[in-house]
Homo-oligomer: A and B are copies of this chain.
């Protein structure tokens, strides 16, 4: 397995003369390695609370059970695994789900077509991926509108160029101008061609999950895909306690092919789960146990991630709310549960309810990003670009959030306590009443000393005022345009690109358009 990425790289990057020419002219894009935390996790639940929640989750599975809907084969599998099946209800005896989960790896490598962009998901790592799913986009100039494939490609390009983003994501927005039954092909092609970072597969139909695998086999080679994980895909649970056949069908395809799935309750507290933190965590754990166990029934050892998407709710309006303390409690608590379960953990993101990339958006987002880092999240979907409760992918917020992700990288490094960092010579050299700007230690260390935003305004007031007194959104709009203007496609073997395009064209021609 360890040889394969190099093979892929050679094939993808140096296959022929055209590929070599593409490589020579390509601009090198600076991407940070995924975060390897050198800091402790923050844990909000006591040992007693964890024990209570875990016991309750087993009770939920054993006594209430979960529904596997429209999926007789799943019911058969559960029966064979030792569960009690009654209609579509699956009751899982205490301990069985946890035991089944134990074959899932605690960490795994997701390969990218550029091996330098491979990510290791699990352990103390944090992999950052962009927003997923919005039907609308917004930018400062054009306002809010339905997303198109052109928007999608722009987001993939921005993601490729974003230094602190490790992953190209999946449905960065819904390209509503492409038929529903065909858009996954265009989306996958865009991730494969316009970026060299890892990406997600399609989950909206089992057949589309299979298309994702087929296209990966073109990109990476058939053997490589069977032996390695090249996609991490999002399998949402229909909370409470319901697993529908579309999502489970996609999960089955991915697990069979050793591809990773995020098994993720999608919860607005008080609607799809109890209004209380402890109750929500109980249900989340029960759902994840059942879902991951099912993935292991399909193929023991296939990679699965414990997902937790939780928003709170404004009981006045019914709107989901983000960046709230209750969502933070759940995110921290679910991280503890995931570590005890030995699974990688997905949660948090650039969540906000605001309609604009304004202060509300940033308060809510920052609250969510910070808790994501400290709660031990291993895979953070929605890490940039999320707006308006996930209805909107914002171009400006994408680059604003992506810039903030740099703070997570720097914080996660922990505190250097080397002799150089202790700076005792500097303190002696400068002495009482002195100034450090010119001292030897400062000169030797200032370049790497402080994280610096590439976006924010650090100018003197007068300069800023003369330049138009721009707010963050205005600065971000300039940055978006500059990035798109200077984007250059990462080199890809033209033969592979041709085969991918042919696959997409053939598939599209094989069926009529469908818009529902």
Contacts and interface: CB of A to CB of B under 8 A. Distances in A.
Contact of A362 (B315, B362, B431, B460): B362
Interface string A351-362: 001111111111
B411 A329 contact: yes
A105 to B, nearest CB: 29
A436 B270 contact: yes
Interface string A271-283: 1111111110011
A407 B451 contact: no
Contacts of A357: 359
Contact of A458 (B314, B333, B361): B314
A446 B354 contact: no
For this complex, into which size category does the number of interface residues on chain A fall? 35 or more
A435 interface: yes
A72 interface: no
- Tell me which of A67, A415, A430 has the highest count of chain B C-beta atoms within 10 A of its own C-beta: A415
Contacts of A430: 240
Contact of A457 (B333, B360, B410, B445): B360
A208 B70 CA distance: 78
A270 B421 contact: no
Nearest to A361: B359
Contact of A313 (B45, B363, B450): B450
A353 B44 CA distance: 31
Contacts of A39: 44
Contacts of A458: 314, 316-317, 319, 321, 353
A8 interface: no
Interface stretch (A165-173, A364-372, A481-489, A490-498): A364-372
8 contacts: A40-B44, A269-B450, A276-B421, A278-B423, A282-B422, A321-B453, A323-B407, A324-B450
Nearest 3 pairs between A and B by C-beta? Answer: A279-B423, A366-B366, A362-B362
Interface of A: 39-40, 42-46, 48-49, 52-53, 56, 59-60, 63-67, 69, 89, 144, 238, 240-242, 269-279, 282-283, 312-317, 319, 321, 323-326, 328-329, 333, 353-367, 370-371, 374, 388, 391, 397, 400, 404, 407-411, 413-418, 420-424, 426-428, 430-437, 441-442, 445-447, 449-453, 455-461, 464-465, 469, 471-473
Given A279-B424, A366-B367, 9 more contacts: A40-B42, A46-B417, A60-B424, A240-B430, A275-B436, A276-B449, A319-B460, A353-B457, A360-B456
